[in-house]
A and B are shown apart, each in its own frame.
Chain A
């Protein structure tokens, strides 16, 4: 066996969690190789170029953002653990985001990276719920960063403190959209993690988007001596006596590793080991991307960074019966972060993300798939525009649009390998990262941490817990 086929650790997937784990392990002298099936790193936070333009797939905003000097937060932990200088990520804070509910978005809660704004918005819109909201806030502040290890229902917990279903839905909407793999509810742990990440801490973005983060991670990984093999997925895990004895690569080659860290998901990992495909429900998304010839603010849309909207009486967070659920969604304006004087994106970007049903997108003929994309592109954009100021003239958006693109659950599945294109993975998480084999561990979305910072923290904690401490 040659030296290129034996490792201390094999990592499956070159997304944020795999790279973060790889940096830790390589830094402490482990012989590490990351195997990635795609030709680019990033995983669920990918990027691509089309028509000479650069696009991001996953990242709307980096949650868990805190300014320099705020201690004991997930962002601070990952920077320390990865020995990354805070400035290297170049994070710029959001301007203002809002949750807009009702047919015309009349019920509004705005929030910024200063939690005081959300507190005062709740107090003025829901004066009788302010005390209950304070109780939720206290509970989250007192919860450990990774949660309390409970799968209890977030909705049931909220109802013990808040009696208004509108406020309950409005608070949950952004948290679910940015991380819940469970239909119509969240694990209480995930709720506390996300409440902290979005409301108590905040949103930010590097000017260059996810590429900026990837560049820093790749450089660290390389400097630490880590290897990676691109366009080289793992096809099968050979199990012997409850352990992974070898990995069979897409090329047919076999490699051996003492430990295997898999970022591809619980069911996806077990499938490599030989389990039957999972039938659990998964939540898919579509996203429309419009490139504009000017910043959205100049078009007349103000300075909103993210708008979480819902037009119906209750917020439905589940697989829609049709291809897309246009009742609710997320509008993201990457231009509307505070990049500093004279710094900004060269073009305007208007992204709208909605829940989508994987089953209704898969197995379409090429022609039917294209037609569905065209039809839904307009429906999604029109639906989202109800929650933005009207433009003058009425066709101003169409005239300002210089390019468009769209992804569906099948796009996500194709490029990331995540079952049914589920961005937030399995509804049941494995917090300790254990799998059916004793030397195979999970990291990433199915280990239960969320967001950009959470996924890196997942890679770090799993590497520490199962490999470096052992």
Chain B
């Protein structure tokens, strides 16, 4: 998986959690919270959807790594690839 595919996977999740948000112009280097109306309940859902859809675990201490799309990609892409390598 590439960084761009990873960002797409995260955006797909956000689109389902927050269908009322416009995701067409999300800037990858800006904190998601600063450009979208996402609260802590929504971030919990992103984490849980990652687990449910992709089997990826994000411990609470690492939630901060999901701040922007860029940081998501940096943190999650290796996890996606490690899982793919296992299967």
Which residues of A are interface residues toward B (Cβ below 8 A)?
27-29, 68-69, 71-72, 76-77, 79-81, 83, 85-86, 460-461, 464, 468-469
Contacts and interface: CB of A to CB of B under 8 A. Distances in A.
Interface string B37-67: 1010110110010011000000000000000
B52 A86 contact: no
Q: Is the interface of B mostly helix, strand, loop or mixed?
A: helix
Contacts of A81: 41, 45
A325 to B, nearest CB: 40
Contacts, number: 33
Nearest to A469: B44
23 contacts: A28-B48, A28-B52, A29-B52, A68-B20, A69-B20, A71-B37, A76-B20, A77-B41, A79-B20, A80-B17, A80-B18, A80-B20, A80-B41, A81-B41, A81-B45, A83-B16, A85-B19, A460-B41, A461-B41, A464-B41, A468-B44, A468-B48, A469-B44
Contacts of B16: 83
Given A69-B20, A72-B39, A460-B41, 4 more contacts: A29-B52, A77-B39, A77-B41, A469-B44
Interface string B1-45: 000000000000000111110000000000000000101011011
A464 B39 CA distance: 14
Nearest to A84: B19
A164 to B, nearest CB: 38
A29 B37 CA distance: 26
A72 B37 contact: yes
B45 to A, nearest CB: 7
Nearest to A81: B41
A86 B39 CA distance: 19
B46 to A, nearest CB: 11
Contacts of B41: 77, 80-81, 460-461, 464
Nearest to B16: A83
Contact of A464 (B44, B51, B52): B44
Interface in B58-85: none
Contacts of A85: 19
Contacts of B17: 80, 83
Contacts of A71: 37
Nearest to A145: B39
A451 B35 CA distance: 31
B78 to A, nearest CB: 24
A28 B48 CA distance: 7
10 cross-chain pairs, A with B, having the tightest CB-CB distances, nearest first: A71-B37, A28-B48, A80-B18, A80-B17, A72-B37, A28-B52, A29-B52, A81-B41, A464-B44, A77-B41
A80 B16 CA distance: 8
A291 B17 CA distance: 41
A31 to B, nearest CB: 14
Contacts of B20: 68-69, 76, 79-80, 86
A28 B20 CA distance: 22
Nearest to B38: A80
A460 B48 CA distance: 14
B1 to A, nearest CB: 23
A29 B49 CA distance: 11
B59 to A, nearest CB: 12
Contacts of B39: 72, 77
Nearest to A85: B19
A230 B16 CA distance: 31
Nearest to A83: B16
A295 to B, nearest CB: 34
A416 B37 CA distance: 38
Contacts of B42: 80
A85 B48 CA distance: 20
